[in-house]
Amino acid sequence: MNRLRVDEPHPSLSAAAEAAPLGALKPVQTLRRRWPALLAMVLTVAMLVGVGHELLNHGFAGLRRAVPTSPGFYLFFLASYFALPLCDFMIFRHLWDVPTSAFAALNRKRIANDILTGYSGDAYFYAWARARLSMVTAPFGAVKDVGIVSAITGNLTAFLLGAFALPLGYQLIAPDLMRGMIWSLIFALAISLGVLLFSRRVFSLPRRDLWYVFWIDLLRIAVACVASAIAWAFAMPTVSLGMWLFLIAGRQLVSRLPFVPNKDLLFANFAILVIGHDRALSDLMAFTAASTLVVHGVLLLLFGAAYVMERMREWREAR
């Protein structure tokens, strides 16, 4: 008859002891799998809080002022608003063949970058992609490359528009501010050239894909700028479309300057000096900014409601 030695553990105890460490690892593995979803949820809540804070502080004041009556303003305002997420969708459709649900994630990416700190939206979209690893195996490299190419495209267009706008409007800008803008342009261009010089170490996407991202970003900037100019021309028809295009070029330039504080205030003052109508123009800028915040909030609520309905349907099917 076989007997166990006193110092020999019972077979069932040995199996339990071997299984215990594996069981202890399960919560850690679950947490590692779920961190993208948790990060996305935290950023979504932060976006809602940020939109509400901006609306309560400044947005509703802009909405209470003069409201454009022309439908053309709202049509081209929406075209300008959705230029970024639509072009991002084209890019990641090309890179990853993303499903249509990616459009909602790309809108959240844009809202987070607008409301929260810079590139928080890219972190959100990276988390969204990580949660769908069956779709793509290495999302970080692509998200990083798209962000860098987008920044380079913005800097390049700012430099080109600066070469067009500054000679025409330099008399309206103080000499100290003009020097700051020129040095900011040189710095932004130098950074872009430095990235291109070490492109083999910086980028992970093939060169063909990088060129595709560049041309789509260039299309996005052109559509957004032209659509904004046309929208403002509908809102203030007394100002010519050509003048609005000139001001949009100035706004694109100012938005890319790293060493210039209060970019929105600088652009507003520059626009008032160029076309006058200080009260009407400031009201239009305030209304445009407030309308952007309202669209941010509406989209977050719509996408959130769609997400909840999808989860409820999955829960009912699981039962």
CA of 224: how far to CAs of 49, 217, 249, in Å? 26, 10, 11
30 found inside a domain? no
Q: Which of 58-62, 63-67, 309-313 has the lowest mean pLDDT?
A: 58-62
Residue 45 lies in a domain: no
273-304 burial code (b ≥16 CB/10 A, e <16): ebbeeeebbbbbbbbbbbbbbbbbbebbeebb
Q: For 127-163, what is each residue's pLDDT tens digit?
A: 888 877 666 667 788 888 999 999 899 888 877 877 7
Taken in order 93, 96, 97, 101, the sign of the CA dihedral is negative
Judged against a pLDDT cut of 60, whether residue 22 lies above it is answered with no
Residue 14's H or E segment, with its range, is helix 11-54
Residue 221 has pLDDT above 70, yes or no: yes
- Judged against a pLDDT cut of 60, whether residue 222 lies above it is answered with yes
Is residue 267 situated within a structural domain?
A: yes
Residues 193 and 217 sit within 8 Å (Cβ to Cβ): no
Query: What domain range is 228 assigned to?
Result: 72-95+144-313
- Indicate the number of domains in the chain: 1
In a domain, 109, yes or no: no
- In this prediction, residues 211-240 reach a mean pLDDT of 91
Instruction: Say whether pLDDT at 272 is over 90.
Output: no
Cα separation, 99 vs 136, whole angstroms: 12
In terms of Cα–Cα distance, which of 310, 185, 304 is closest to 254?
185
Question: Can you read off the two tokens belonging to residue 95?
Answer: 């890179």
Q: Which residue has the tokens 């996005």?
A: 220
Position 292 in a domain: yes
Residue 22 lies in a domain: no
Q: Is residue 235 packed enough to be buried (19+ CB in 10 Å), middle (13-18) or exposed (0-12)?
A: buried
User: Please, is 245 exposed, middle or buried when counting C-beta atoms within 10 Å of its C-beta (0-12, 13-18, 19+)?
Assistant: middle
Asked if residue 239 has pLDDT above 90, the reply is no
Evaluate whether residue 204 is within a structural domain: yes
Instruction: Tell me if 237 is assigned to some domain.
Output: yes
Confidence tier at 3 by pLDDT (50, 70, 90): very low
